């Protein structure tokens, strides 16, 4: 279909393009075919998510790496329509390898989501993502991000408070 000249950037009812759909399911071969044919990376779906963000959400590390290397303009601190960064998505979902790769790119990790003003540490504490929380704490220590560690959400709770509230003893 690509060879027949079909529009690579048309969207469906959710705003998804062929590239974002391929990123969602982790099909690297299709992603490569679409990018080589000129598909755009910066068309967002109805939730404001880019293909790279969808690769992160669905734990597709190889697809993320390819998208970041092929489209040099994709910012690692990309924020979706709900105020979430790729780091926040990876940490909240417990995608350790994706988070590790993103941290290697030295992103801004202090960003908070739009609704509850929670950062990646808050979400790790709520959802019991121990390994991701430890990775974020090490990163914060390396870059002396004490404000990130002690940040309060919209309910004035820190990640430590949320871990205590949700009962994740291993995080405390």
> What angle separates helix 130-142 from helix 96-104, to the nearest 10 degrees?
10
Beta bridge partners of 85: 79
What is the Cα–Cα distance from 61 to 90, expressed in whole angstroms? Answer: 10
Model confidence at 16, in pLDDT bands (50, 70, 90)?
very high
- How large is the average pLDDT for residues 143-156? 93
Q: 169 CB contacts (<8 Å, ≥6 apart)?
A: none
- The pLDDT of residue 1 is 61
- The pLDDT of residue 73 is 84
User: Is the sign of the CA dihedral 7, 18, 68, 66 positive or negative?
Assistant: negative
**Could you tell me the maximum CA-CA distance found in the chain, to the nearest angstrom?**
58
What is the model's pTM? 0.91
pLDDT exceeds cutoff 90 at 163: yes
């Amino acid at each position: 279909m690509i060879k027949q000249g079909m529009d690579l950037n048309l969207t469906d009812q959710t705003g998804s393009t062929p590239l974002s759909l391929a990123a969602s399911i982790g099909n690297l071969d299709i992603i490569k075919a679409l990018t080589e044919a000129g598909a755009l990376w910066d068309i967002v779906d109805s939730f404001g998510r880019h293909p790279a963000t969808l690769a992160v959400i669905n734990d597709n590390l190889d697809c993320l790496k390819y998208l970041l290397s092929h489209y040099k303009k994709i910012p690692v601190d990309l924020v979706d329509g709900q105020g979430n960064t790729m780091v926040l998505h990876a940490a909240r979902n417990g995608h350790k390898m994706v988070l590790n790769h993103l941290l290697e790119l030295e992103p801004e990790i202090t960003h908070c989501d739009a609704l509850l003003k929670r950062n990646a540490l808050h979400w790790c504490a709520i959802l019991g993502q121990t390994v991701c929380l430890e990775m974020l704490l090490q990163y914060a220590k390396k870059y002396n991000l004490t404000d990130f560690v002690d940040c309060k959400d919209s309910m004035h709770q820190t990640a430590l408070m949320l871990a205590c509230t949700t009962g994740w003893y291993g995080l405390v």
